Amino acid sequence: MENSEECDLFFGELFDLAGLPRGAYRPGFLQRRLSACLRFLQVPDVAQGVARLRAQPQARSQILGAVLLGVTDFYRDEEVFAQAEGHFRQSWLPAREKIRVWSAACSDGQELYTVASVLDDLGILPEAELLGTDIRAEAIGRAQTGRYRPEELDRLPEAVRGKHFRTDRTGGWVQERLRQGIQWKQANLFSGAEAGPWHLILWRNMAIYLEREAAYPVWQSLVAELKPGGYLLVGKADYPPPGLGLARVASCLYQKQGGARR
């Protein structure tokens, strides 16, 4: 069996069991992970791997978590968040309304905690509503704890780490004032967007792994739940398709047209 056919068989079964659409992810992205998946399952071939996926839900969950491992970081692309904060300050402080933020495919929560720290610095976190969703239960569980390893905190500026985290030799915890305003939820993004309107949606570094036909309806659903004038924050290699009513206002930051701009 050709590697592409093996890949289709294995990941088709995995995605069917997980409720994800077949063919959504680019073949090259999946093929690079097939051998590692079989080694993890301790099986010699795809046929036995598929049998193991069907028989062992826990192994299936772990494989899905490894395959869809999100690349994330606190203040990932720091200049992006610096520019975005300026737009948030201009748009949200004069509005004096409850700010709603959704991080779609949030991985283990680092970028949503980054936004929470920005809102805290702006003085509007207590009135904000923040939601993080991911299909992987393990990722959501880790985000809820708010605990991270020392190497995950290394890129944080000292002032940020000192203000927003409690640290020791084993790592650090996000301060309670940031954690208490965030809800976490296991959810399948392909099944639909979380109900808006949202002032800010983060969808970063996932679209690049999707086939264009699979990514487009996700883009559509996200933009539909943005309020006019709301923002969509994406990864550096993510490019929203044209025709969705978005205007690029900064690096990785798009604003939904139709609302008043300040």
* Structural domain containing residue 140: 78-256
- For 192-254, the DSSP string reads -PPPS-EEEEEE-SSGGGB-HHHHHHHHHHHHHHEEEEEEEEE-TT--PPTTSSEEEEETTEE
**Considering the domain boundaries, does residue 192 fall inside one?**
yes
Tell me which of 15, 37, 67 is where a domain ends: 67
Same domain? 33 vs 127: no
Tell me which of 67, 87, 118 is where a domain ends: 67
Same domain? 245 vs 129: yes
Walk along the chain (262 residues) and give the pLDDT tens digit of each residue. 447 888 889 999 999 988 888 888 888 888 888 888 898 888 999 999 999 999 988 888 888 877 776 556 666 667 888 899 999 999 999 878 899 999 999 988 989 999 999 999 999 999 899 999 999 888 899 899 988 888 787 777 778 888 888 888 788 888 888 898 899 999 999 999 999 999 999 999 899 889 999 999 999 999 999 999 999 999 988 999 999 999 999 999 999 997 544 3
The number of folded domains in the chain is 2
**Considering the domain boundaries, does residue 73 fall inside one?**
no
Question: How far is it, in rounded angstroms, from Cα 42 to Cα 151?
Answer: 30
**Considering the domain boundaries, does residue 261 fall inside one?**
no
Same domain? 210 vs 148: yes
Going from the C-alpha of 106 to that of each of 45, 57, 138, 140, 142, the distances in angstroms are: 32, 23, 12, 8, 11
**Considering the domain boundaries, does residue 232 fall inside one?**
yes
Same domain? 15 vs 99: no
